[in-house]
Amino acid sequence: MRHHLSPPSPGLQKSITSAVLRVAQTFARSLHTTRNTMALYPPSPAPPVAGSSKNEKLISPVVAPSPDTPLSSPAGQAAIAARAAAHTAKVAAGVPTTGDSSGTSTPGRAGQFLQHEHRGGLRQRDLDAASPIAQFHAWFAEAKALGGIAHPETCTLSTARFPSGRVSARMVYLKELDHQGFVLYSNFGTSRKADDLASNPWASLTFWWEAQERQVRVEGRANRLSAAESQVYFDTRVRGSRIGAWASRQSATLVPKGEADPEDDGRAQLEEWVAEAEQRFGKGDAENEDNEDNDPPIPVPEFWGGLRIVPERVEFWQGRQNRLHDRFVYDRQVGSEADGTEAWTIKRLSP
């Protein structure tokens, strides 16, 4: 259904035009400043790909940046600020943020065409011929160095339950990448993903880096990490997060107190579980969340830990104009792991 909106009044149009012009002028000044400061903030070079050792980490761990981490690129900051200001001006004026000149809202049309080619597209000679993990590492390093991508380690984990075939998906953080696969951490005792993987060990990860118009899809079998391996990462988490891992029965229904507390919607039960975990392990130092107050160390819960997706198929997608995108897929050759070697075929796919 198309919703026709009345065009803004001439006075409102004038206000919008003035706001956009101010944003453009500010952006131009920012770019001028950026050109003079890029020598101080050169793009970070891609880290070298690790050696051939199966146990050597390429990125270990990929720690999610805090929300207040500044973007590394001044140009990225200026571009995002300009887009945000223009969007705010339109919203404040009641103008559709996606649409045509008649005021007809057409959100599906906004992303129909790419305005710029990125790096001239993608060719097979640009890819790592030996390993999709090495190729992913290169793309991830570029996404991480680009200021406009705040959390490049964010991805969608998709699982399916047998025999129903029902699919579920959720956003997660990639935490480690090694020569065996892609590692994330989660609750595997009560979560839906745990139930799915118990019946069907196949899973998929999808990464989307909008600023580069790039997508990576990973398909493979999910293997649990050992408790010792999980403990190494668990110890890097702040104490509050480790308490939370013990307290939360992920995906379990929280029961409201009912008449005992009409305002409670179930949150009180979660807070009670947190209090129980704090009583068991201690709250830690209030400022540093460490063990200096002699609280007992917190072991990794048996129902929580790492999950490694060992890839069998990895697709790299580079956006191009007119929907004529570049797609290349790596498929693991059958039996290539049996003799300790790893072999992949690379094919270009039609968009």
The catalytic residues are 323
Is residue 282 a contact partner of residue 292, using CB atoms and an 8 Å limit? no
Q: What type of residue is 203?
A: A
Question: How many Å apart are CA 316 and CA 216, to the nearest integer?
Answer: 5
Contact indicator for 134, 49 with CB cutoff of 8 Å: yes
Residue 133 CA to residue 123 CA, distance in Å, equals 17
Contact 98, 86 (CB under 8 A): no
- Residue 206 CA to residue 61 CA, distance in Å, equals 19
Strand 167-173 and strand 154-160: the pairing is antiparallel
